Structure 1
């Protein structure tokens, strides 16, 4: 199979490559085409992957391209993982948000909307190009905000675009870890919501829901990251395990205060850290080792201000294990290409599976994957207390898409003003104007 990675010069590319190197099954990916606008990073990334593949027999061949049209022909799968305006754009969103007293995180609230507004025109062009040059390819979207981007791309690609996020499976693995259970074929997860806005509501092991055992034990809850972040009392009050990004909603004042007291924003830290990494990786003999060191440093500082606001301190090593989005992506590809049935939590069109949202709304729920694609499993349920938030945020997502696809400034303003983390129309208007003046990408909003 041929895999094309859009944004292949991005930092997480070696995670995907690691899954490909572990895959020794017949029909595996044998060709990887990296596409990126930054030729220098592409060359360095190719060296990192070559170093990573050292000693692995029959590793996939890797090619690099700065023109997507050169890479797409013959693609079986296309990964989209782009960052329009780069990490500096994320830093700008965080600065603008803080200047107006709102959270500027890149996928939640103002930051997510701003990121989407400058990203959607680019991914829509990508969707049209894929449909023209690789009409039989499946697009697996990692580009944030994943739910919004996947829904917009689905207007061109239909069911052939599927979004992936590792937050739900990471949450589930940590909860299972407290039970001494590993995620496997005997485990079924019930999870429902939108990307970065969902809840784990059941963990069935051999048909028995074990989540009540976790929820009944405060010590067990606070033994893993989400439990420490939200606190056992609140999680027990909810009766479900929230996605870590819901911390921005449940503790917005605390997070904002921690952000304001922090010596630098998350993005500003990443800009400096990544600059150091690329300089070292571009010159050293073993760039993959440099990548591993940088990744460990990056993971250790993940959601640092949220942890500070909760008084959590340093991350535990166990919590730093990723959700394994690269393994989910591999299972998804194999499920489609070889009809290897799998149950995965994905971002897909609802098609009646989740009550309260229409068929075309992209939701994050368990799906069955087979040769025909990803099929949402009917019966997913958002807890009653979350229904209003999910409905409001889906409205925001669709107004954001309306703004980006039609150059509709009023829709962008509606998106910002109706987001639960923006508390004033005046503030929404100021945020929009600051974003428009900061990003040439938003000049289309008239």
Structure 2
């Protein structure tokens, strides 16, 4: 089975490869093709993967190419993890917003919209090539903002595009562990959009155990979300928010923390990863060791702005993610019938009352050989549904702007986002991003 990874020179690619190395099932991936436009990064990641797989007898063959058609042709699955503009682009997304007094974050708020505006056209080009040279491939989209990019690509490839994120399942695992429940026997009630969702229930044999956790402040504080949002606010919500909702519920605090830091998250990662690729180029024999060292540092500093200065990230929280495991489970379910339940970004198809049937939402699914199937959910509480509807409207305006070059749609998207305080700010954001990013200067050149 052939797996193609787009953005194959990216830092997180070895996580996917590591999951493949642990897979000893029949029908496992036997060939991995890395595709990237940066030959230096491709070479570095290829070194990491080669060294990591050296002691595994059944390690998949790893090759690399800068030719998109070559990478796609014959693929059974395609993991898309591209980053248009690189980490330099991310730092600009953050700083343009912060300079206007607005939250600067990669996926949440105006920074995420700018990221999507320059990513959607590239993702659509990839989807069109895949339709020509790999029409039977399934696309598993890691590329952020995952909900927007997945919905845009579905316009070309339909439901064969699945968006994934590790935040929802990591939250559910932490809550299940705090309650002492058996994961395989627990039905998860989670609803939202990518990086905007709530854990509403954990049911075993029809009994919802989440209220028991919500009623226990000490148990809640063992979760990263309990420390992040505070037990009183979680109890008031009656649900546990996804960690990214911190930027909505505590936007002033998040913005102040980011502004007071020596670097934004993007600037930290840019410098860290630049040093990593230089180090691997200088000492290729140490590529895998260096990758593990840098990864530990990266994980430990995740969402630093949401924690106290002296608060270390809990070891269980660092280990609680695993989007690579979700991806492997999707592949297993589709390719050889290992039916599995997971939380994915898919077309809702009526599963979320109040949301358009064609909208990509982040919800529990059952995945089998025919792909994911949404599990119908109970009605969403007013404020949750309202926020989902507003942000989904913004996401669709971004797709319109990215596909038509409409200045009006882009400004409207910025203006209607809950974290942008005025139409005037939205106009300034649009102009700031258009000046900062060559991709957006070209996209909106005639407006």
TM-score under structure 1 length normalisation: 0.97
1:400 and 2:395 correspond: no
**Structure-2 separation of matches of 1:224 and 1:182:** 17
**Structure-1 separation of matches of 2:439 and 2:55:** 44
Q: Hey, what does 1:354 align to over in structure 2?
A: 352
Contact 2:189-2:377 at 8 Å conserved across structures: no
1:367 and 2:373 correspond: no
1:414 and 2:397 correspond: no
1:249 and 2:278 correspond: no
Q: Hey, what does 1:444 align to over in structure 2?
A: 443
Q: Hey, what does 2:282 align to over in structure 1?
A: 283
Q: Hey, what does 2:421 align to over in structure 1?
A: 423
1:274 and 2:270 correspond: no
Task: Map 1:242-391 onto structure 2 (within 5 A).
Answer: 242-284=241-283, 285-308=285-308, 313-391=311-389
Task: Map 1:141-220 onto structure 2 (within 5 A).
Answer: 141-181=141-181, 183=183, 185-220=184-219
**Structure-2 separation of matches of 1:273 and 1:8:** 18
Deviation at 1:291, TM superposition (A): 0.7
**Structure-1 separation of matches of 2:178 and 2:102:** 35
Contact 1:33-1:65 at 8 Å conserved across structures: yes
Q: Hey, what does 2:58 align to over in structure 1?
A: 58
**Structure-2 separation of matches of 1:380 and 1:168:** 18
Task: Map 1:3-82 onto structure 2 (within 5 A).
Answer: 3-82=3-82
SS of residue matched to 1:404 = helix
Contact 2:79-2:142 at 8 Å conserved across structures: yes
Contact 1:34-1:42 at 8 Å conserved across structures: yes
Cα deviation digits, residues 289-329 of structure 1 (max 9, x gap): 11111011001110111224xx6722111111142111111
Deviation at 1:175, TM superposition (A): 1.1
**Structure-1 separation of matches of 2:228 and 2:153:** 33
**Structure-2 separation of matches of 1:381 and 1:138:** 30
Contact 1:194-1:363 at 8 Å conserved across structures: yes
Contact 1:192-1:381 at 8 Å conserved across structures: no
**Structure-2 separation of matches of 1:305 and 1:182:** 33
**Structure-1 separation of matches of 2:411 and 2:368:** 40
Contact 2:174-2:320 at 8 Å conserved across structures: no
| Structure 1: gaps of 5 or more residues | none
Deviation at 1:384, TM superposition (A): 2.5
Q: Hey, what does 1:230 align to over in structure 2?
A: 229
Deviation at 1:282, TM superposition (A): 2.6
Contact 1:8-1:42 at 8 Å conserved across structures: yes
Cα deviation digits, residues 383-411 of structure 1 (max 9, x gap): 33211111100000000000001111100
Contact 1:191-1:380 at 8 Å conserved across structures: no
TM-score under structure 2 length normalisation: 0.97
**Structure-1 separation of matches of 2:356 and 2:93:** 31
Alignment root-mean-square deviation, CA: 1.2
Name whichever of 245-254 and 370-379 sits farther off.
370-379
Cα deviation digits, residues 133-153 of structure 1 (max 9, x gap): 000000000000000000000
